[in-house]
Amino acid sequence: MRILSVSIKGYRSVDDVFLNLDGLNIFHGENGVGKTNLYNALKLVQAAATGEFSKFIVREGGMQSILSENSKRNADRSKIIFEVRFSTFSDDDDYYSYGITAGLVPQKTAFGEKIVLGDGFEFEPQIKTEKLIFHNGRKSHTLMFRENGFLKVMDREMAVLDMSNAIRLFPSATALSSLTDAERFPEVLRVKHEIMGWRFYHGFRTDIESPIRKPCYAVSDTVLHSSGANLAAVLATHKYIVQDLDVVEELIADTFGGAILEISRPERTVSFGLRFPQSNRTSNAWELSDGTLQYICLAVALTSSSLPPFIVLNEPDNSLHPDMLRSLAVLISSASKRSQIWVVTHSPILKDILEESGTSKSRHVIKRGLHTWIEGLALNGEVNTF
């Protein structure tokens, strides 16, 4: 599936944004304009699928902290609303839409003390509604509808079932994560697994204690974790099992003056390093520079034979020498033909090179008053560039 559009309301600095997405989506802007808030809203959508929605919000400071200024001032708007639309195959007239609304847990103050009403704790969200709808031309079919504790779901026979008693939903638990029966609810599970497959690469830890620098357990995997912690295992999988590591090996040799990627034979753990032409020994991962590790992680993340359906890259140019940016841009552009890519960058060089590919125009993220906005954004979700 391809994400057609995202709608974000009431989340931090993003008061109300509706945006259509392309295959390659480039976002640039000054520090503090809210670029991170835009894609963190998508991380919250993924958290709704994985069951981490409430934990994500509490880690961010609780519902009180993440509401936009307008939402805090207006009791009727004291909620966050996210909606994502997905196309089915290549036909954009047939699409799914998943939406979730969450607000504050009801409470009152008595004798100077806060009293929480109903189930839930003070800082966690209370989910008001969730909807998953399949749109087929002019028709629509509600596959899942949740309002507070009430839940109905359409099964594979197109029968609508009241699941309110079968699944006890705490106010902070998402219905999307609670439904697990793929046999009974295949369409719901299809969308759920699609969202769970998204990857957010928000930089990679490269300090001396980073797991990327250490051997990792030899467990086969073709997709790099968001942390990059399974890098050595992914490299070994592509070398010894899938046997398609040629592209990464060539990229490393071209970028690092003929360096050879060396991967240990997997036993309980596996490790990797680089052998440079001017050296008679292999430099282990813990010896490599921050920029070298960052580039290897990006190369692996963007060239896998089984790319995630949606990849978010936050400032991928960090720690990279300017001479590497053209190679990185080629990697991103090539990956966008097989996966949908969202890139946040402060680098005008990377932005310009990506735009030269002709795949997409960049979006300039700005502050309009207190709120995050995208320059030229129209009501229909398109961005007018001048």
Give the model confidence (pLDDT) of 130-167 as tens digits: 999 999 878 899 999 999 889 999 998 889 999 988 88
Sequence-ordered alpha helix ranges (H) in 173-289 = 175-178, 186-196, 231-236, 246-255
Sign of CA dihedral 319, 320, 325, 331: negative
Picking from 260, 248, 380, 384, the residue whose alpha carbon sits closest to that of residue 327 is 248
For the chain, which residues score pLDDT lower than 50?
110-111
Q: pLDDT tens-digit profile of 172-213?
A: 999 999 999 999 999 999 999 999 999 999 889 999 999 999
Within 10 Å of residue 386's Cβ, how many Cβ atoms? 4
**What is the C-alpha R_g of the chain?**
23
| Sheet containing 126-136: order of strands | 14-20, 2-11, 79-88, 91-103, 126-136, 139-147, 150-154, 160-162
User: Do residues 185 and 155 make contact, with C-beta atoms less than 8 angstroms apart?
Assistant: yes
- Residue 272, pLDDT score: 97
- Residue 23, pLDDT score: 92
User: Do residues 255 and 261 make contact, with C-beta atoms less than 8 angstroms apart?
Assistant: no
User: Do residues 218 and 236 make contact, with C-beta atoms less than 8 angstroms apart?
Assistant: yes
| Cβ-count burial 279-315 (b if 16+ within 10 Å, e if not) | eeebbbbeebeeebbbbbbbbbbbbbeebbbbbbbbb
Q: Is 165 exposed, middle or buried (0-12, 13-18, 19+ CB in 10 A)?
A: exposed
Copy the structure tokens of residue 312: 């978010």
Hey, which bits of 158-287 come out as E strands? 160-162, 199-201, 216-217, 260-263, 269-270, 272-275, 282-284
Rounded Cα distance, 51 and 68, in Å: 23
Distances (CA, A) of 281 to 86, 138, 293, 315: 49, 65, 18, 32
Residue 379 dihedral angles phi and psi, to the nearest 5°: -65, -25
- Residue 90, pLDDT score: 58
- Residue 187, pLDDT score: 94
Sign of CA dihedral 174, 381, 31, 195: positive
Type of residue numbered 11: Y
CA dihedral 212→41→380→311, nearest 10 degrees, is 20
Rounded Cα distance, 103 and 38, in Å: 19
Rounded Cα distance, 246 and 275, in Å: 16
Q: Is 260 exposed, middle or buried (0-12, 13-18, 19+ CB in 10 A)?
A: middle
Rounded Cα distance, 274 and 263, in Å: 9
CATH top-level class of 200-359: alpha beta
Domain boundaries of the chain, sorted by first residue: 2-197+364-374, 200-359
Picking from 301, 295, 304, the residue whose alpha carbon sits closest to that of residue 261 is 295
